[in-house]
Amino acid sequence: MFVEGLRAYGLIAGMWVRSGMTYRTSFVFTVFGNLLMTGLDFVGILLMFTQVDSLGGWSLPEIAMLYGLSVTSFGIADMLLGSMDVLGARMRDGSFDVLLVRPVPVLAQVGADRFALRRLGRVAQGAVVLGWALSSVDVEWTAVKVLLVPVMVLSGAAIFSAVFVAGAAFQIFAQDAAEVQNAFTYGGTTLLQYPPTVFGKDLVRGATFMLPLAFVNWVPAAHILDRPYPIGLPGWASFASPLVAVGCCALAGLAWRTGLRSYRSTGS
Amino acid sequence: MGSARLYLSVAVGGFRRYASYRAATAAGVFTNTVFGLILVYTYLALWDERPGLGGYDQAQAVTYVWLGQCLYATLAIQGGGAEKELMERIRTGEVAVDLYRPVDLQLWWLAGDVGRAAFQLLGRGLVPFLFGSLFFTMALPTEAAAWLAFAVTLVLAAVVSFAIRYLAALCVFWLMDGMGIGQVLMITGVFFSGMVLPLNVFPGTLGEVVRVLPWAAQIQVPADVLMGETDPSAAFAFQAAWAVALLAAGRLLQSVATRRVVVQGG
């Protein structure tokens, strides 16, 4: 079932990539546009640092590390599942029903729907900032810390993917309110671009325990940078990101199933 | 007189059309409130580090954030107003029908977009702004004259915003597809309007340049008028000058487009 789903995802995504590549110049332009657009947030941070030397007690390379981790992992999730916001529209016009009768997992079809390789722009931009940040932060690198970086990116991508899937499940219940999920996806990645010390403790608690976005970068990065996390967490929490990611994905999968079961088609 | 009524009814139509998407509006209110919250804390940290940055105190910086969230959809800062539909109509060739109507093309779309903006302000912008004023200390004026000046500056901001997007939409007559120009509109809108950071915080020459570009008329100028940081008449003059210049450019481009360009479609 799982392998079959992945295969179907690959086939559908490949189809969309081929169709996108038909207009090569347009593709190059949209990748570049994507890169520029997602980079604006970082330009904002750079502009802030023309006026100050630290924000919430964190230096520019440290914030750039948070930014790079947040954007890279969000970018991967966005590339894999980001087209899911067309789900509400698909339900309204009835074309969602077509996906239900095909002998392929619905999630794979919905995830690969309008797969856009131009979204690589965000991943690339995040990776560049992350690379610069890692080479310029003042850290005594150990094997564990080095290993933690790819673990963060992958766990982060999984956590954001779970948010996308949960958002898709939500759309089944509230089709017109698709924008609510932007608050958690785009809002989430924006939140994580800044150090936790900037925000109120309640917000940090919410982002740690309720919607555990903090495990994308805040908590593990606090370990790498040797910074105390604003709310007390045990030391092993810095390594819990993969577990949190698995938990999030399981819950999101459950939400998706529940949503799919209660789906009622439009029309008469 | 008759034509004024016509454009008024087009504006009312624009208002009512957007008012019919209730769930989407509620979702937008929620999203703008969440983004406002995130931004408020980052701005507070920034102003904590540098009190008085850009001539604002903390309460003013907070006001700027919530005003930005309030005007984000109202002024279609990243696009998505009338120009999106116009681009699509140019792409499909349906614009030919618009050109046949015994009305002025630019005023027709302006009226519809102003109606949309009015709804987005009341339906989508007001709640995050009130939320901000309830939970944070904001620098809001108490005298009616300041609010009146703010209302005037908002109308002018809506016209400038439309004029920029109308120019972009007309480009589709030559480009055939609105995707690229839509992206340009988004990037320039978000950056030069001061959504990323207030324009008065931008350093050096960059700051001097962005503060005289037309996008400054959208959030920075209304914010400064509201908080009494600028002389209202100078602000009105700045916005009106850009509105007239951009609308005139739009007319010029429109006449070139309709004369030289072949409408798409068989």
Query: Model confidence over B11-24: pLDDT tens digits?
Result: 999 999 999 988 88
The structure tokens listed for A207 are 């982002």
Residue recorded with tokens 């302000």: B121
Instruction: Let me know if residue B265 belongs to a domain.
Output: no
C-alpha A192/C-alpha A198 separation (Å) is: 11
Give B81-135 pLDDT, tens digit per residue.
999 999 999 988 888 888 888 899 999 999 999 999 999 999 999 999 999 999 9
By Cβ distance, the residue of B27, B179, B196 closest to A43 is B196
User: Among positive and negative, which fits the CA dihedral A201, A207, A211, A217?
Assistant: negative
Q: Which two tokens stand for residue A237?
A: 């929490």
Q: What is the pLDDT of residues A72-98, one digit of tens each?
A: 999 999 999 988 777 878 888 888 888
CB A215 within 8 A of CB A241: yes
* Residue A43: predicted pLDDT: 94
Q: Which of B50, B69, B197 should we substitute to test contact with A (largest number of A Cβ atoms within 10 Å)?
A: B197
Q: What is the pLDDT of residue A188?
A: 95
The structure tokens listed for B210 are: 């962005």
Task: Flag if A51 and B21 touch (Cβ within 8 Å).
Answer: no
Q: What pLDDT is attached to residue B96?
A: 87
What was the pLDDT predicted at B163?
97
pLDDT at B152: 97
Give the distance from residue B194's alpha carbon to the nearest chain A alpha carbon, in angstroms. Answer: 10
Q: With contacts defined as CB-CB under 8 Å, which chain B residues touch A43?
A: 191, 196
Q: Do B184 and A33 count as a contact with CB atoms less than 8 A apart?
A: yes
- CA–CA distance, B146 with B234 (Å, rounded to integer): 14
Query: DSSP H helical segments within chain A, as ranges?
Result: 2-21, 24-48, 60-81, 87-93, 96-101, 106-112, 120-136, 143-173, 180-191, 201-205, 218-224, 241-261
Cβ–Cβ under 8 Å, residues B144 and B52: no
Answer whether B186 touches A (CB < 8 Å): yes
Supply the DSSP symbol for B262. Answer: P
Chain B hits for A47, CB-CB cut-off 8 Å, are 196-197, 201-203
Residue A57 lies in a domain: yes
| Residue A162 falls inside a structural domain | yes
Judge whether B99 is closer than 8 Å to chain A, CB to CB.
no
Q: Of B41, B183, B203, which is closest to A198 when you measure between CB atoms? A: B41
Nearest beta carbon to residue A191 from set B21, B38, B196 = B38
Query: Which two tokens mark A134?
Result: 């890692």
A38 in any annotated domain = yes
Instruction: Considering only the beta carbons, identify the residue of B24, B183, B197 that sits closest to A33.
Output: B183
- A88 neighbors A182 (Cβ within 8 angstroms): no
- Chain A residues closer than 8 Å to B46 by CB: 48, 51-52, 55
Q: Which of A149-163, B39-53, B142-156, B247-261 has the lowest average pLDDT?
A: B247-261
Residue A267 in any domain: the answer is no
User: In which domain, by residue range, is B31 found?
Assistant: 2-260
What is the domain count for chain A?
Answer: 1
Query: Which residue type does B203 have?
Result: P
pLDDT at B68: 97
Q: With pLDDT > 90 as the criterion, what percentage of chain B qualifies?
A: 82
pLDDT tens figures, A18-70: 988 887 887 888 888 888 888 898 999 999 999 999 999 999 999 999 999 99
Contact B50 A51 (CB under 8 A): yes
Contact check, Cβ <8 Å, A174/B34? no
Amino acid A205: pLDDT: 94
Candidate from B21, B49, B196 with C-beta closest to A40: B196
Instruction: Look at residue A179 and tell me if it is in a domain.
Output: yes
B209 part of contact set with chain A, CB < 8 Å: no
Quick check: B27 contacting A, CB < 8 Å?
Answer: yes
Task: Categorize the per-residue pLDDT at A135 as very low, low, confident or very high, splitting at 50, 70 and 90.
Answer: very high
Quick one: pLDDT band at residue B145, thresholds 50, 70, 90?
A: very high
Read off the pLDDT of residues B64-91 as tens digits, 9 standing for 90 and up. 999 999 999 999 999 989 999 999 999 8
Q: Do A30 and B180 touch (CB under 8 A)?
A: yes
For residue A235, what are the contacts with CB-CB under 8 A and spacing of at least 6?
Answer: A223
Top residue of B56, B120, B196 to mutate, by most chain A CBs within 10 Å, is B196
Confidence of residue B206 (pLDDT cuts 50, 70, 90): very high
Report yes or no on B92 lying in a domain: yes
Number of domains in chain B: 1
Q: How far from A45 is each of A36, A219, B50, B163, CA to CA, in Å? A: 14, 21, 15, 30
Confidence class for position A165, pLDDT limits 50, 70, 90: very high
Our CA-based measurement puts residue B145 at a distance from the nearest CA of chain A, in whole angstroms, of 34
In a domain, B266, yes or no: no
Does residue A266 form part of some domain? Answer: no
Shortest Cα distance, chain B CAs vs residue A5, angstroms: 31
In a domain, B195, yes or no: yes
Reported ipTM exceeds the 0.85 cut: yes
User: B155 pairs with which residues across the strands?
Assistant: none
- Residue B24 and residue A26: Cβ atoms within 8 Å? no
Exposed e or buried b per residue across B78-113, where buried means at least 16 C-beta atoms within 10 angstroms of its C-beta: bbbbbbbbbbebbbeeebeeeeeeeeebbebbbbbb
Average pLDDT over residues B50-60: 95
Q: Is the pTM of this model over 0.90?
A: yes
Does residue B176 belong to the interface with chain A, where contact is any CB pair within 8 Å? no
Interface test with B, best of A26, A30, A32, A40 (most B CBs within 10 A): A40
pLDDT of residue A147: 95
Q: Which of A73, A57, A64 has its CA nearest to residue A193?
A: A64
Contacts of B203 in chain A (CB under 8 A): 47, 50-51
Q: Quick check: is A182 in a domain?
A: yes
Any A CB within 8 A of B53 CB: yes
Put simply, the answer to whether B50 touches A41 (Cβ < 8 Å) is no
> Of B158, B34, B230, B42, nearest to A180 (Cα)?
B34
CB contact under 8 A, B196 and A51: no
Residue B1: band (very low, low, confident or very high) from pLDDT cuts 50, 70, 90? low
Check whether B265 has a pLDDT greater than 70.
no
How does pLDDT run across A98-122, given as a tens digit for each residue?
888 888 889 999 888 888 888 888 9
Residue A264's pLDDT is what?
Answer: 84
- The domain containing residue A145 runs over which residues? 2-261
H helix intervals, chain B: 2-19, 22-49, 58-74, 82-92, 95-100, 105-119, 126-135, 144-170, 172-175, 179-192, 204-210, 220-226, 232-260
Asked if residue A268 belongs to a domain, the reply is no
Of the candidates B179, B164, B193, B166, the one whose C-alpha atom is nearest the C-alpha of residue B72 is B193
**pLDDT value at position A242?**
96
Q: Determine the residue of chain A that is closest to B44 in CA distance.
A: A198
Report the pLDDT value the prediction gives residue B181, as an integer from 0 to 100: 87
CB-CB contact of B46 with A55 (8 Å) = yes
B144 touching A (Cβ < 8 Å): no
For residue A111 the two structure tokens come to 């995830």
Give the orientation angle of helix B105-119 with respect to helix B82-92, to 10 degrees: 140
Tokens 């207030």 locate to: B198
- In the A/B pair of chains, how many CB contacts fall below 8 A? 98
Model confidence over A220-267: pLDDT tens digits? 999 999 998 888 888 899 999 999 999 999 999 999 999 999 888 876
